[in-house]
Structure 1
Amino acid sequence: MTTKDDRLEFEAHKREMSLALGKDEASFQQSLNTLIGLDKFDYFYLWSWMGVPIIQLPADILATQEVIWATKPDVIIETGVARGGSLIFMASILAAMGNDKAKVIGVDIDIRAHNRESIESHPMSNRIKMIQGGSVDDDVLAAVKAEIPPGARVMVVLDSDHSYEHVLAECRAYGPLVSEGCYLVVADTLIGHLTEEQAFTKRSKVWLRGNEPLQAVTDYLAETDRFEVDPVLNGKLVLSSSPGGYCVCRKA
């Protein structure tokens, strides 16, 4: 007895449900309220990847994995190293895909010694290059570009200073590096959906609506025709810190 090959049908259903979920404001508000409630437990900080704190929500980890697998970048640039788990995570996905030359470039204005040690002593360290300095400084941008081989497919994740001006400057600086078909991921767009009363306060800085990544990426997309928000991927990004932040590059 043979069973029906329903793989295409299954994927079509996933797409349909993702788009429907993206239009369901009640579900989004419910997820938003859940995350606001979880913040008192430092929920965003409770996860690790291969032994290193990742400071990402599970939904965003899965979304980023889907993007990397589907687009197969040779180079992933991430601004904002923090404790290093995200670099380790993306490097491990590249390693699992079998591209021996693929790497992750981590940029941060302050890579602390203990975090650097965690990254450099990790089995994935041979796929990671760290650059310390301001992410939009000319010398740092030059150093990043020098790490990109000719013809490499490039993906970018922006997760450093979340102020509007800085994120917009990063979009303008790093957006042009993204290859056609790859993604520009602007993290922590969730902040733009919070009222002042809902804002996460257990942070080194408190960002309020308007001075945050969602407004920055919205304005960046208005000034370029290279990117568009992926409606399917972002549609299912509830319980996410970056809804609306996954932008696919449509033009070389």
Structure 2
Amino acid sequence: MSDSLKAFYDDRKNSLASLEQDALLRKTGQDFVERSIPHKYTFNFDWMGRPIIQHAEDILAMQEIIFRMQPDLIVETGVAHGGSSVFYASMCRLMGKGHVVGIDIDIRPHNRLALEEHPMYEHITLIEGSSTDLSVVNQVTAMAKDKRVLVILDSNHTHDHVLQELRLYSPLTHKDDYLVVFDTIVENLPDALVNDRPWGKGDNPMTAVKQFLKENGRFEVDREMEAKLIISMAPHGYLRCLKD
């Protein structure tokens, strides 16, 4: 690494430390998320023609993780319109390695057809079924054998479901791999913003992550990622594996 690049990264480390401590800026980011939800802000963007339904900062964070990890397999629970699957597949295409397996309890025919006709589909396998169904887990486990695996959980957001996913899919990861849990933001939102869902404050992905971290010593929250993400749907959700 050149001296100038080292100086750049040293300066970034200092910037992240100050960002982590800037309570007003972090509250501003939280306020933005809360005000944007009634407008369905994240529904406004596509990745290569498919709705991605994520904040831009989370998309950029996932790009960093994927390039850093160089995973052989990316496991995503929750497919919806497939934009995230296409994004992860496009990263695989750019890197020249990797494959995406997308799991959803209901892959609607029009979404499946659109994905099957997409130029990134050669890097995607779709599995219809519950992510916690053992037959699905066993199928994914077989695909993950002897591979470096990135796990991304973004399906049913209740505490019990996410905790079960964490327990079932975390064994696929190894040291320095990532397990990313989306929509942990629910714990920080006013009840009025999620009162039409089966999850809410006290029953959501963040509560599941907190319990999982208490019972599983292999993971920690990536504090650097936490510091840099001012606007995110996944606070405390970027988990790094510490050991095999």
Normalising TM by the smaller chain, what interval?
over 0.9
Q: Does 1:222 align with 2:214?
A: yes
Q: Does 1:243 align with 2:235?
A: yes
Q: Deviations over 1:122-150 (max 9, x none)?
A: 111011011111101111111111222x4
Q: Deviations over 1:32-91 (max 9, x none)?
A: 111111223210111110111001110000000000011111001000001000000011
Q: Specify the alignment match of 2:119 in structure 1.
A: 123
User: Aligned partners of 1:41, 1:194: CA distance in 2, in Å?
Assistant: 15
Match of 1:34 among 26, 32, 35: 32
In structure 2, the CA distance between the partners of 1:187 and 1:248, relative to structure 1 (3 Å rule), is same
User: Aligned partners of 1:231, 1:19: CA distance in 2, in Å?
Assistant: 10
Do the aligned partners of 1:155 and 1:179 also contact (CA within 8 Å) in 2? no
Match of 1:157 among 152, 155, 160: 152
Root-mean-square deviation (CA, aligned residues, Å) is 1.4
Do the aligned partners of 2:158 and 2:198 also contact (CA within 8 Å) in 1? no
Structure 2: runs of 5+ lacking an equivalent? none
Return the offset for 1:176.
1.0
Q: Specify the alignment match of 2:14 in structure 1.
A: 16
Q: Specify the alignment match of 1:90 in structure 2.
A: 88
Do the aligned partners of 1:18 and 1:233 also contact (CA within 8 Å) in 2? no
User: Aligned partners of 2:68, 2:236: CA distance in 1, in Å?
Assistant: 18
Alignment of 1:1-252 (within 5 A): 5-99=3-97, 102-148=98-144, 150-197=145-192, 199-200=193-194, 205=197, 207-252=199-244
Structure having the larger proportion of residues in helix: 2
Q: Secondary structure at the match of 1:6?
A: helix
Percent of residue pairs identical: 41
Do the aligned partners of 2:194 and 2:200 also contact (CA within 8 Å) in 1? no
Return the offset for 1:5.
4.4
Structure 1: runs of 5+ lacking an equivalent? none
Alignment-mate amino acid for residue 131 of structure 2? S
User: Aligned partners of 2:20, 2:199: CA distance in 1, in Å?
Assistant: 24
Q: Secondary structure at the match of 1:82?
A: coil
User: Aligned partners of 2:117, 2:102: CA distance in 1, in Å?
Assistant: 15
The number of aligned residues is 243
Do the aligned partners of 1:39 and 1:200 also contact (CA within 8 Å) in 2? no
Q: Which aligned runs of 4 or more in structure 1 are off by greater than 6 angstroms?
A: none
